[in-house]
Amino acid sequence: MVKHILFDFDGTLVDSRALLVKLYNEMAMQHRFRPIREQDLGPLRSMSISERVDRLGVPVLQIPKLMVAGRQLYHENIRSLQIVPGMKEVIAKLSTQGVKSSILSSNSEANIRLFLRKNKLEGAFKEIISAKHIFGKHHSIRKVMKQWGTTPARMIYVGDELRDIESCKKLGVPIVAVTWGYDSPQLLLSGNPDHMAHTPSELYRILIGLS
């Protein structure tokens, strides 16, 4: 029986795709990377992170520095973000059922808490955990399990990217992949997730069935 749910933030809870494209294009202009055009969005959703980086011509060694700059720009624009329609209700219903939920994200804790305050969701999550490993989220998930003293079978991860699935597979942690985030349904399926949800209401039914 699942006792704790770990939610990813960007893409899963928050519709931040338009903002992140805007911020990336601002940095692309500054650093002379290839910008993301409207016609690029569909193909990019079906690529792995390494394929996207290669397609856009972003030097891998510059990614950590760009992440720091991007988080600051994100923080300055966070009030424009909206929660994914239907997810606020999912979180509220899970809370009334006594299900413990936390957030694990490569976004900063400050950004996440600011968004939660704006949407009156401060008390909805037990913890906000900022993942330090950009390309190896399984390290952060393993650390969380150790802190909680729990096993993979007693938790479940909710994410929207292939890398989320791959991280969970390394640890044996069940995952629900949602299709409204960054990666296309076809790319998510290639990772063989334990469950897939196409709408927040479908996500809720899956999570309650496992709790």
Are 40 and 93 found together in one domain? Answer: no
- Residue 202 is predicted with a pLDDT of 97
> Distance (Å, rounded) from C-alpha 61 to C-alpha 47?
20
Position 133 confidence tier, pLDDT thresholds 50, 70, 90: low
Are 144 and 177 found together in one domain? Answer: yes
What are 142's two structure tokens? Answer: 């393993």
Count CA within 13 A, CB hemisphere, residue 94: 32
Residues 6+ apart with CB under 8 A from 195: 174, 175, 176, 177, 206
Position 74 confidence tier, pLDDT thresholds 50, 70, 90: confident
Residue located via tokens 């897939």: 196
| Least confident stretch, 65-69, 130-134, 151-155, 169-173 | 130-134
Are 26 and 94 found together in one domain? Answer: no
Are 38 and 103 found together in one domain? Answer: no
- Known catalytic membership, residue 183: no
What are 35's two structure tokens? Answer: 């910008």
- 25 lies in which domain range? 16-80
What are 106's two structure tokens? Answer: 């490569």
pLDDT at 122 over 90: no
What are 62's two structure tokens? Answer: 């510059």
Are 197 and 146 found together in one domain? Answer: yes
Q: What is the CATH number of the domain that holds 143?
A: 3.40.50.1000
Residue type, 156: I
Q: Is 60 in contact with 35 (CB distance < 8 Å)?
A: no
Are 95 and 39 found together in one domain? Answer: no
> Distance (Å, rounded) from C-alpha 131 to C-alpha 103?
10
Crossing angle of helices 137-148/162-171, nearest 10°?
50
DSSP 116-168: HHHTT-GGG-S-EEE---TT-HHHHHHHHHHHHT--GGGEEEEESSHHHHHHH
Position 75 confidence tier, pLDDT thresholds 50, 70, 90: confident
pLDDT at 111 over 70: yes
- Residue 168 is predicted with a pLDDT of 95
- Residue 186 is predicted with a pLDDT of 95
From the candidates 8, 10, 160, 164, which is the catalytic residue? 8
Are 127 and 65 found together in one domain? Answer: no
Are 46 and 134 found together in one domain? Answer: no
Position 210 confidence tier, pLDDT thresholds 50, 70, 90: confident
Domain end, chosen from 80, 97, 127, is at 80
Dihedral sign, Cα of residue 197, residue 198, residue 203, residue 209:
negative
Count structural domains, the chain: 2
Are 28 and 68 found together in one domain? Answer: yes
